[in-house]
Amino acid sequence: MARQLAEADGRSQPRGLINGWIGEQIEDREELGNPLTNVEDSTLREACRQLSQEQSKVPFQQLLDAAEVAKHRYEYYCFSKDATDGTSPPDGPSLALKVNLSLDDKKALVAERERLFSGRGMLIIIWTVSLAAFLQGHVQSSINAGSLFAETVGITQPRLINLTASESNYTFGFVQDAINGTNNGTYKDTYLDDFIPQNGTYNGTDPAKTDPLGLNMTGLGATSIAKWQLGGMNAIPFLTAAFPGAPLSLPVNYCFGRRGALGISALLIIASSLGSAFASTWQQVLGARIVGGIAMGIKAVSAPILASETAVGYWRGSTILAWQLWVACGIMIGFVVNLVIASATNVLNTVPSHIYHIVSENSTEIKNGIEIMTPFSSSDYQSRYLAFQLILGAPLVPSILLLIALCFCYESPRFYMRPGTPNYNLERGFEILRKVRKNELQATRDFFLIWWSIKTSAAKQEAKQYPLKTGQVKGERRDEDVDSGLTYMSRICVVLKLSGRQFRPLFNQRHLRNAMLSSCTVALAQQLCGINVFAFYSNELFSNYGVEKSMGYSFGFGGVNFFFALLAMRSIDIIGRRRWLLSTLPMMSVCLMASAIAYAVDGTTVTPRGAQASESIAGIVFIYLFAAAYSPGLGPIPFTLASESFPLSNREAGASVAISINLLFAGILTILIPSINREFKIEGTLGFFAGMNVVAFILVWLFVEETKRLPLEELEKVYDNPKFDFAKYQLFTRLLYHMKRLVSCFGDVEEPESFDEIVLRRRRAGDPADTSDDDVPQRSGTN
């Protein structure tokens, strides 16, 4: 149909084929995602009458027209398309349409399918979510750059660089074979823990052996302790964001809404930034970052949910993409800010006081062939400490901008349409929809669809979870929770009870369990891919090149991450989430392995000191290519799935679980990466994560369904199928098909029906395998 539409449009053949393919991707889930397809007209009429009684400001006929357009949305789109530009498909619409659409209605129905952000009020919401994401990225870049100045708060990692051939008493264990008497002025880098006597054995009780250079070291384990201190200080924001930050988003959202949650997180980050800026020890920085981590967790849950709940379903992925896109922008601009601060404080060409240079034995400032760099003067120390303060305090500025944006941002309409909560207000929900949709028809249609979904979902669970009390009428809204929230203490109790209710069904209802498994799989895959090795420690990895160059390389990484994320705009809703993941994960694995090989080759070659800036240029290039593949795939999709996969009644709980998994493993990796990198060197670390990308690909292939082009309330139909059946289909149907194509050199092999088609066929046939476990008594165990 879509290709016929493209040909009928009279465009050139290549462009027509492209538009036809895009049309097929857009239209292929119409029947799967329409909740009203099999609903009788009389049932719709009665539902509209009931809603008009609950919300008297919306006339009955207006609701009925909107419900009719929602039920036959594709037919009305085709009719509107033909009326506005004469390009309706030859075979549509096929029924007599009951609603007379105005020209404005027709243009609006076409625009919402074919244009991003056609709604009037969506821009301020997208701007607010983008600012929240920018703040998240800026905080990450400040944590990253702060590692360069960690000695100013008491974390020292003594290091030796530039080993000479004439140094005869000591060598580095891992470069012994590369050193000989004919090479002068060669360059290598290690930590003092790796510096061992060439002749003799280490004796941990011998001061001459534990501190052979007289550098006031407490022992050869000092570097290891410093690495754990640095890892813990950098990891604590992500660990506290995972818990308690993300779970706290539930009561915060219940009490203050999505906007209020973002406002609270902005205030907490202001407090954290000020605390970090005035800290004088790493323990104080850690304490301030605990506060910032809680804010990051609340914000990471609330901002994507605000985007997903206000977006038009056709372009929901592109709207939520604003989160990851502007996280990447925040990282990139954060590095620019860090460079400006480092330049303004005159620390660009300095190195930490714990780095020592090996020089020739002719130097007068040597000890055992090593140049002993005296600690910084007071002015040097103050410059580096000032840079550290300003870098950690810089997120204060975007926090204030976020607070200002929140003053003009709309709340999610679904926040006011959740019954049984203290904020239930249908009138306010409808008014917000009128602001964020292009016209009245679209606002009324979405208002009815949200209300219908909530009612039908509640009807399935009401009798099972809350048996009717004596004298209570079936379908009557239960207001005891609302009534009990009249005082602050009773309101807190209500909120905690409602929050607890959200978590329980995640494990005993199939569609929620499957949604949680899919979103958690992708959240885990983001950490398995190794992106945060560079996002959190790029400055540390490149620190041998000095402050200026290490920040420059980090800025390049952030720029690649940002600009390549733009590729996912629109395409995340046309190509789909699953296809983007499966396309980019293999490329990421190859790039990391190539980078590991490049660093390994460089590691076997002794490089002149003056060439250290280019010694691993091939490795850096492959790291940038890795970031380019990551940005449109694993970058935005974890937060997209977390915020869209769960129904309104369990959305914050499901999203918080998935995002907690993501942030928890981010924190664990942040702690472990310095030690892993020290033990296995950068090439070993890169090779390990190259393998983890293969593991992530397998997990996504087996367990992650496609969610594109469906309304939020109808994603239950995607997840309400046994996960075992989905994995079996991938293994024994899709994999077999691809193997046959490969054997036949991509010849003509009949493509099997999609899993969506199998689900629809079962549904039409009334297959028991497709029966939702919401409609039957709960069973223990997994699918």
Antiparallel, parallel or unpaired: β 159-161 and 355-358: parallel
Closest CA to 519 of 305, 775, 263: 305
Q: How many CB atoms lie within 10 A of CB 413?
A: 25
Q: How many CB atoms lie within 10 A of CB 725?
A: 16
pLDDT of residue 187: 37
Whole-angstrom Cα distance, residue 214 to residue 69?
Answer: 82
The secondary structure element, H or E, covering residue 291 is helix 282-310
Q: Across residues 197-203, what is the average pLDDT?
A: 38
**Which range has the top average pLDDT, 28-42, 459-473, 493-507?**
493-507
DSSP code for 438:
S
Q: Across residues 458-485, what is the average pLDDT?
A: 51
Q: Across residues 418-447, what is the average pLDDT?
A: 92
Q: Is the pLDDT of residue 768 over 50?
A: no
Q: Across residues 552-576, what is the average pLDDT?
A: 88
Q: Is the pLDDT of residue 5 over 60?
A: no
pLDDT of residue 719: 93
pLDDT-derived band at 150 (thresholds 50, 70, 90) equals confident
The secondary structure element, H or E, covering residue 573 is helix 571-574
DSSP code for 241:
I
Antiparallel, parallel or unpaired: β 366-367 and 170-172: unpaired
Q: Which residues contact 25 (CB under 8 A, 6 or more apart)?
A: 574, 575, 576, 708, 709
Q: Across residues 719-729, what is the average pLDDT?
A: 93
pLDDT-derived band at 679 (thresholds 50, 70, 90) equals confident
pLDDT of residue 560: 92
Tokens of 408: 């003009």
Whole-angstrom Cα distance, residue 644 to residue 713?
Answer: 9
**Which range has the top average pLDDT, 190-199, 349-358, 504-513?**
504-513
Q: Is the pLDDT of residue 539 over 50?
A: yes
Closest CA to 726 of 759, 760, 697, 698: 759
Q: Is the pLDDT of residue 380 over 90?
A: no
Q: Across residues 29-51, what is the average pLDDT?
A: 85
772 vs 735 pLDDT, higher one = 735
Closest CA to 591 of 631, 558, 540: 631
Residue identified by tokens 């990450």 is: 140
Q: Across residues 148-168, what is the average pLDDT?
A: 62
Amino acid occupying residue 135 = L
pLDDT of residue 210: 43
Helix-then-strand count for the chain, H and E: 32, 9
Choose the weakest-confidence range: 238-247, 650-659, 706-715.
706-715
Q: Return the half-sphere exposure (C-beta side, CA atoms, 13 A cut-off) of residue 657.
A: 24
Whole-angstrom Cα distance, residue 8 to residue 694?
Answer: 43
Choose the weakest-confidence range: 32-36, 623-627, 724-728.
32-36
**Which range has the top average pLDDT, 35-39, 69-73, 230-234, 409-413?**
409-413
Mapping DSSP onto H, E and C, the string for 643-704 reads HHCCCHHHHHHHHHHHHHHHHHHHHHHHHHHHHHHHHHHHHHHHHHHHHHHHHHHHHHHHHC
**Which range has the top average pLDDT, 170-179, 473-482, 664-673?**
664-673
Q: Is the pLDDT of residue 307 over 60?
A: yes
Q: Across residues 626-649, what is the average pLDDT?
A: 94
Q: Is the pLDDT of residue 343 over 80?
A: yes
pLDDT-derived band at 161 (thresholds 50, 70, 90) equals very low
pLDDT-derived band at 20 (thresholds 50, 70, 90) equals low
* Share above pLDDT 70 across residues of the chain, in percent, rounded to a whole number: 72
How many residues belong to the chain?
Answer: 783
Q: Is the pLDDT of residue 487 over 80?
A: no
Are residues 155 and 351 in contact, defined by beta-carbon separation less than 8 angstroms?
Answer: no
The model carries a pTM of 0.81
Domains of the chain: 2-114 (no CATH), 122-153+221-407+508-716 (1.20.1250.20), 414-439+451-467+477-506 (no CATH), 721-770 (no CATH)
pLDDT of residue 498: 79
92 vs 281 pLDDT, higher one = 281
pLDDT of residue 175: 28
